[in-house]
Amino acid sequence: MKIGFISTRLAGSDGVSLETAKLATILQRMGHTVFYCAGQLDDDAPNPTLIPEFHFRHPEAEAIGAQVFGQMVPSDELLRRMEASIQRLTGQLQAWVKASGVQVMIVQNALAIPMHVPLGLALSRFIAESGIPAIGHHHDFFWERERFRVNAIPDLLWQHFPPDLPSLRHVVINSLAQRDLQIFRQLDAVVLPNVFDYDTPPPGFDDYNRDFRAAMGFSAYDWLFLQPTRVVARKGIDISFELLRRLREPRARLVITHQAGDEGMAYYRQLLHRAQASNIEVHYLSGFIEEQRAIRDGRKYYTLWDVYPHADFVAYPTLYEGFGNALLEAIYFRKPVLVNRYSVYVADIAPLGFDFVEVDGWISDESLSEVRLLLDDAGRRQAMAEHNFALAREHFSYRTAERLLQEVLNDLA
């Protein structure tokens, strides 16, 4: 079939875009043809249609969002402006489906979280009027975000994010979301967790990345604690700081790969002061890490996957995640992991029997001892890594996603 992915943005390394790319690969392996439609796309997007007005940063989307959220009563101007935008976007959806011949739409989060209110409402209207078979792949819901709770259109949000339509099937990424969707909206959903291609061996050292340590100023004897996350408060970087402070190991280096600034720079500045006060060495590598390898003006840029082979330990102390793509990635590279017991981890991952150093929001004496043991015992590290890899391959592989996708497509048919 011709299957079209649609969202506000399908580009870069955010969780929605990464999972969409995986599902696109899986569907192509199943013999389907994949199309992308969004307000921002990567250069290598399959059969792309770029519609700038779909982006949540489009001026009209931002202007409407500013009038919707943070207040309780909608103005007449807001309702008129919103309807005009919905009509334009619905027309663009109709044109895309007609031109591409898409037979099934997979809406990536745009029917779950109102980052772009008119687009979500336009999608709901278009699916209802056309009856096109559609899947709503929901990564997080508006009732989970504080910023969306005070709004001027509660009835519209509850009715359309997501909507209850005959030709729409719902897919969520964890069992807690499945439960909430049933409680709040009486809608059934299939759980499709984050997945990884565990049947393809991970890349290792090669001529390009072998010099990473030296290029970043690390020695072969340093212990690199990799935190592959953005610099935002919910990623729990403070817990990683506490780990290194209590280890009191002069060889320990905390390496944070992703950028700061997504939620302002205050947290980043706070971390700089805290690292200095705690006498720990922290390296922020966002200026050296890109999505593709590159050499510009004599400067070499690495990918995240160039960094993993050099890591001695992965810190994943996140406070909240929809699932945990970075955790699956650390397992893929067979690294020992410290993980904070965030709610989805407790509900969907821990019960499967994974072997991690677990913490509950702080570094206990027991967790500190476990980390020290792992750093000193290569055999224990390897046993942990192989055990976790086998479990992840069983529960979170592309084969798991293929089976679940086929079930949903069969249901739509």
CA distance 128 to 143: 23
Strand order in the sheet with 223-227: 282-284, 252-256, 223-227, 313-316, 337-340, 357-359
pLDDT of residue 265: 81
pLDDT of residue 268: 85
Domain 2-195+398-412 superfamily per CATH: Glycogen Phosphorylase B; (3.40.50.2000)
pLDDT of residue 266: 84
The contacts of residue 311 (CB under 8 Å, 6+ apart) are 224, 225, 226, 255, 333, 335
Contact 314, 340 (CB under 8 A): no
Q: Rounded to whole angstroms, what are the CA distances from 382 to 15, 335, 385, 398?
A: 28, 8, 5, 24
Q: What does the radius of gyration of the chain's CA atoms come to, in whole angstroms?
A: 22
The CATH number assigned to the domain with range 212-395 reads: 3.40.50.2000
Predicted confidence (pLDDT) per residue in 325-380, tens digit: 999 999 999 999 999 999 999 999 999 999 999 999 999 999 999 999 999 999 99
- Tally of CB atoms within 10 A around 297: 4
Positions in the chain short of pLDDT 70: 261-264
Burial code of 71-101, b = ≥16 C-beta within 10 A, e = fewer?
A: eeebeeebeebbeebbeebbebbeebbeebe
- Cis link prior to 202 (omega < 30° from 0)? no
pLDDT of residue 15: 85
Contact 212, 39 (CB under 8 A): no
- Tally of CB atoms within 10 A around 334: 16
pLDDT of residue 261: 67
CA distance 288 to 302: 6
- Tally of CB atoms within 10 A around 13: 16
Is 212-395 the same fold as 2-195+398-412?
Answer: yes
Burial code of 220-230, b = ≥16 C-beta within 10 A, e = fewer?
A: eebbbbbbbbb
User: What are the extents of the domains in the chain?
Assistant: 2-195+398-412, 212-395
User: Is pTM, for the whole model, over 0.75?
Assistant: yes
